[in-house]
């Protein structure tokens, strides 16, 4: 079971040569997810060795250009490279029109199905679910409607310890009960405890993504206890006024959210182009939440 | 008088790590022009040290994404960097809607005026003219309407040789005549020949841009005798069928145009991503037109 996050762009609205605008690639149990898609994302995917045709879910948090200007180019390239597998794109309602209009004007007839799903943004929602993963969207607070995301491994069934089960001589009818972690009562009314027959289950991992947002405590419920949290930290406290005015967060605010949500590890990005380094962000965040890393383009994190 | 062309992107529809999609920056007598603006152009401008706020004319040849997907991001960045000088954007009629829609959805209120000029594409036209330069647009042949461009220094007035004029004792009334290269007849009916009073005029230089287009002889008139011609060469002759089907040119066809137009130098770009090098393009072109160069991102050419 792999679950990793590749940072494709760690910058904010104004890209720099060091920090591309926002995009992340998440591989989770053979599901391939792109979160946000700033200009140049397709090149970052190439640069960091991600196979772009593997991506089958694209999540767009909001309609600021540094989070979606690269989407139309990525979809064009998927088409030119011969894609025929459909793709699902989750985002604000305006996204579909913007993308289709640009492709139609150029006369492109896409060979694959683009399935746009509108995110409602009024409350936390499960937007995708299969037997391996769940994707949750939840509202945050910005100048325009914005969603955060949580990607979560599914709680998987218990593995039965073959030898123990064999020796017990129990009927095969017991297996579905044990797999669900339930005890089994045999025909004679005897209780067989699941915990005696199954291996310890690995805890399901989860990843939280919060960009862009002002300091916003209501989102804490949606990312409670995640193994890895990405939170925007456009500014440091010195520019707290600017953060407030633009509905962004400071590094300290991001760390406060991480602490209150009791996450295991915090990674910070979306740094304003005015900062040459993230040293001050890191210092500030670590006064509140020690296990913090400032991301750079190309970094890969295991969840 | 400077007149130079910086290649920002030399690739075709599918960008690669080596070749960005199409864009060129032209500096001509303190006019700063961007031709086409594929995804990532703003980063290429940064990489090659062009000051993006200097650009005051943007020419978009046609509505295929590899020629305009980077425009909205560039305009956003100009805004974020505090631009207040207006900019004129020349292109197909659909361009303005596409750009304004994306900026409006993100809630951007631009601090500078974006003046969109629709190119008519039915015949060669002068689309801009001031005392230093002219910009011409002319139709070419592609799957959708497309314009080529010629940027031309204005024929400037003659400089008078001060010493000679002083010694002649002629009236100041003669100056406007000489500046235009005309002879002057004094009150006594005596003819004073302009050529005796003025310095040799430097020939006005010109640059031609032809991308994307099939082999199309009618464009020759519009680029006749230019000092530098950029022509697309997506394919080599081996894929002439593919060139025909997609309304692109082979290197040989581009060289034939250069030869028939009697240009001084030919530069070839828009190479398909399938070619690792432009060696075959060069060999093929030089059988027809010797003074040819295959462009790479970042190359600068003096016109």
Nearest to A65 among B39, B66, B76 (CB): B76
CB A87 within 8 A of CB A55: yes
pLDDT digits (tens, 9 = 90+) for B112-144: 999 999 998 999 999 999 989 999 999 999 999
pLDDT for position B303: 95
Euclidean distance between the first and final Cα of chain A, in Å? 11
A47 in contact with B, Cβ within 8 Å: yes
* A-B contacts at Cβ under 8 angstroms: 94
What pLDDT shows up at residue A217? 98
Of B39, B97, B107, the CB nearest to A40: B39
Catalytically active residues of B, by annotation: 66
ipTM over 0.90: no
Pairing of strands B87-91, B114-118: parallel
- The C-alpha atoms of residue B213 and residue A226 are separated, in whole angstroms, by 53
Partner-chain residue, chosen from B72, B94, B97, that has the shortest CB–CB distance to A69:
B72
Q: Among all residues of A, which ones are annotated catalytic?
A: 66
pLDDT tens sequence across B236-286: 999 999 999 999 999 999 999 999 999 999 999 999 999 999 999 999 999
Residues in chain B within 8 Å Cβ distance of A40 = 39-40, 43
Instruction: Name the residue in chain A with its Cα closest to that of B21.
Output: A73
C-alpha A296/C-alpha A145 separation (Å) is: 26
Q: Cβ of A39 and B70 within 8 Å? A: yes
User: SS3 sequence, B12-30?
Assistant: CCCCCCCCCCCEEEEEECC
Interface residue of B62, B65, B68 to substitute, partner A, most A CBs within 10 Å: B65
Q: In chain B, what residues touch A14 (CB-CB under 8 Å)? A: 77, 80-81
| pLDDT number for residue A108 | 84
Which CATH superfamily hosts domain B3-156+202-302? Ribonuclease Z/Hydroxyacylglutathione hydrolase-like (3.60.15.10)
Q: Which residues of A244-266 are buried (b: 16+ CB within 10 A; e: fewer)?
A: eebbbbbbbbbbbbbeebebebb
- Is a pLDDT exceeding 70 seen at residue B1? no
| Domain locations along chain A | 3-156+202-302, 162-196
CA distance A61 to A148: 6
Contacts of A159 (CB under 8 A, 6+ apart): A198, A199, A201
| Predicted local distance difference test score (pLDDT) of residue A293 | 98
A105 in contact with B at a CB cutoff of 8 Å? yes
Pick B69's closest partner by Cβ from A15, A64, A73: A73
CA-angle at A83, arms to B40 and B94, nearest 5°: 50
**B residues 4-33 lying closer than 8 A (beta carbon) to A:** 13-17, 20
Q: Is A72 on the interface with B (CB under 8 A)?
A: yes
Chain A residue closest in CA terms to B77: A14
What are the tens digits of pLDDT across the range B81-120? Answer: 999 999 999 999 999 999 999 999 988 899 999 999 999 8
B65 touches chain A (CB under 8 A): yes
A109 touches chain B (CB under 8 A): no
**Partner residue facing B81 (CB), from A14, A17, A80:** A14
Enumerate residues 6+ apart whose C-beta is below 8 A from A285. A233, A251, A252, A254, A255, A266, A268, A292
The pLDDT value recorded for residue B103 is 95
Distance from CA of A102 to the nearest CA of B (A): 7
d(CA A67, CA A77): 18
Q: Measured between CB atoms, which of A13, A17, A101 is closest to B47?
A: A17
The string over A144-154, giving b where at least 16 C-beta atoms fall within 10 Å of a residue's C-beta and e elsewhere, is ebbbbbbbbbe
What residue spans of B224-293 are helical by DSSP H?
240-246, 251-260, 279-286
Searching chain A, which residue's CA lies closest to the CA of residue B40?
A40
pLDDT of residue A181: 85
A105: nearest CA partner in chain B: B63
* Separation CA A32–CA A34 (nearest Å): 7
How many CA atoms does the CB half-sphere of A36 hold within 13 Å? 33
CA angle B47, A5, A294 (to 5 degrees): 60
Task: Give B203→chain A minimum CA distance, Å.
Answer: 39
Residue B204 has pLDDT above 70, yes or no: yes
pLDDT in tens, chain A (303 residues): 689 999 999 999 999 999 999 999 999 989 999 999 999 999 999 999 999 999 999 999 999 999 999 999 999 999 999 999 999 999 999 999 999 999 999 888 999 999 999 998 999 999 999 989 999 999 999 999 999 999 999 877 788 999 999 999 999 999 999 988 889 999 899 999 999 998 877 778 999 999 999 999 999 999 999 999 999 999 999 999 999 999 999 999 999 999 999 999 999 999 999 999 999 999 999 999 999 999 999 999 999
- Is the CB of residue B72 less than 8 Å away from at least one CB of chain A? yes
Average pLDDT score over chain B? 95
pLDDT at res. A126: 97
Contact (CB<8Å) A46/B143: no
Task: Give which of A8, A12, A15, A212 to mutate to test B binding, by max B Cβ within 10 Å.
Answer: A15
- Do the Cβ atoms of A147 and A222 come closer than 8 Å? no
- Pairing status of strand B184-185 against strand B191-192: antiparallel
| pLDDT for the residue numbered B286 | 98
Minimal-distance CA residue of chain A relative to B94: A105
pLDDT tens column, B3-31: 999 999 999 999 999 999 999 999 998 99
| Residue of B50, B26, B64 lying closest to B209 (CA atoms) | B26
Question: CA A295 to CA A19: how far, in whole Å?
Answer: 10
Percent of chain B scoring above 90 in pLDDT: 88
A73 contacts in chain B (CB < 8 Å) = 15, 39, 65, 69
Q: Which tokens belong to A119?
A: 């995110």
Question: Residue B204: helix, strand or coil by DSSP?
Answer: coil
DSSP category for residue A78? H
CB neighbourhood size of A48 (10 A): 15
């Amino acid at each position: 079971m792999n679950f990793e996050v590749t940072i494709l762009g760690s910058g904010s609205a104004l890209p720099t040569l060091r920090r591309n605008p926002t995009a992340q690639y998440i591989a989770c149990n053979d599901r391939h997810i792109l979160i946000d898609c700033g200009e140049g994302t397709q090149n970052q995917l190439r640069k960091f060795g991600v196979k772009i045709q593997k991506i089958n879910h694209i999540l767009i948090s909001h309609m600021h250009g540094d989070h979606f200007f690269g989407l139309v180019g990525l979809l064009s390239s998927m088409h030119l490279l011969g894609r025929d597998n459909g793709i699902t794109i989750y985002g604000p309602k305006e996204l579909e029109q913007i993308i289709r209009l640009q492709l139609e004007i150029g006369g492109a007839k896409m060979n694959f199905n683009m399935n746009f799903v509108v995110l409602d943004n009024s409350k936390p929602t499960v937007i995708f679910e299969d037997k391996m993963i769940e994707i949750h969207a939840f509202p945050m607070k910005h100048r325009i409607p914005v969603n955060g995301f949580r990607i979560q491994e599914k709680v998987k069934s218990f593995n039965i310890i073959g030898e123990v089960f064999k020796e017990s001589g129990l009927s095969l009818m017991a297996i579905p009960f044990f797999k669900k972690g339930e005890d089994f009562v045999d025909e004679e009314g005897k209780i067989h405890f699941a915990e005696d027959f199954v291996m310890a289950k690995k805890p399901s991992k989860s990843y939280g993504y919060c960009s862009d947002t002002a300091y916003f405590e209501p989102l804490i419920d949606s990312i409670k206890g995640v193994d890895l949290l990405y939170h925007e930290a456009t500014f440091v406290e010195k520019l707290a006024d600017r953060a407030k005015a633009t509905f962004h967060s400071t590094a300290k605010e991001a760390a406060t959210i991480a602490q209150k949500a009791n996450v295991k590890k915090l990674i910070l990005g979306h740094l304003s182009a005015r900062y040459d380094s993230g040293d001050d962000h890191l210092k500030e965040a670590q006064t509140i939440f020690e296990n913090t890393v400032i991301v750079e383009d190309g970094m890969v994190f295991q969840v």
